[in-house]
Amino acid sequence: MGFLDRLKEGLTKTRKSFIEKVESVFVGRTIDEEALGDLEEVLIASDVGVKAAAEIVQFLRDKARKGEIKGSGDVKDLLKEEMAALLGPSQPLLITGERPFVILAVGVNGVGKTTTIGKLSGRYTAEGRTVLLGAADTFRAAAIEQLEIWARRTGAQIVKHQDGSDPAAVAFDSMEASRSRDVDVVIIDTAGRLHTKSALMEELKKIRRVIDKALPGAPHETLLVVDATTGQNALRQAEIFHNAIGITGIALTKLDGTAKGGIVFAIKRELGIPIRLIGVGEGIEDLRDFNSREFVEALFS
């Protein structure tokens, strides 16, 4: 099964709760203000977000006024067009000429952060790059062990300290080791933290400062991992992390287990942070670059 087919399969729950409801709004109805109002309610209930929903409906309203909507088939085509436009051009996570290229991975507990790091490590080593993983999640007993397993599985190097040690010190040592070993990519794991705990967010700022001091301009990517199944809470997490440390990209996991895939549109429209990666399964190959047109096509297929 190709990735597009896996993506379609992974988006089944979202398609049933979202697209099928959207399509049902227009069955046997005139495309009038009442129908568009119902559509807006469905979009908001599907985690698309208030701003994105309003923009989509306004786009359809303008098309209807111009006589460009003759029936529900036209609505579907125009919806696909506008939703793809709303997501904008794809902006995958690209390794630039910086060596080492440093990725700081952040997120709350349980979103699949360490697994995402492991899958990225597998991708980069398969491309022939040398990878170093920094085990700066020193609070969760199993976190270092989990990262070690991924390092062995993917052929990456790892820098670790004891449980409970200073995460910033691990980040610093990871940067030092990456330069002395001439590593291509460094991925720093951090403790899953409640985005509502200010002390933990301050510590994350410290880690970021230490990385920048060790290698000015780093991290080159601050990647927030969010769980699609949490819907609007994912948007709230992204907002708080972004305000605290400046998120440059998002990895959206567990899309295959949720009906809340509409959150993709809310994140892009509300925060303007590019979605770099999406996860639709357990395998390394199930973490892929986010392609906006492919995503919309899979939603409507």
> What pTM was computed for the model?
0.92
Confidence band for 197, pLDDT divided at 50, 70 and 90: low
Q: Is the pLDDT score of 106 beyond 70?
A: yes
Confidence band for 6, pLDDT divided at 50, 70 and 90: confident
252 vs 158 pLDDT, higher one: 158
Sheet of 185-190, strand order? 157-159, 131-136, 185-190, 101-106, 221-227, 249-253, 275-279, 287-289
Nearest to 44 by CA among 25, 66, 63: 25
Q: What is the pLDDT of residue 16?
A: 80
Can you name the residues that pair with 253 across neighbouring β-strands?
Answer: 227
Note whether 25 and 42 are within 8 A (CB): yes
Q: What is the pLDDT of residue 147?
A: 96
Per-residue pLDDT tens digits for 18-72 = 778 888 888 877 888 898 999 999 888 888 889 999 999 999 999 988 988 877 7
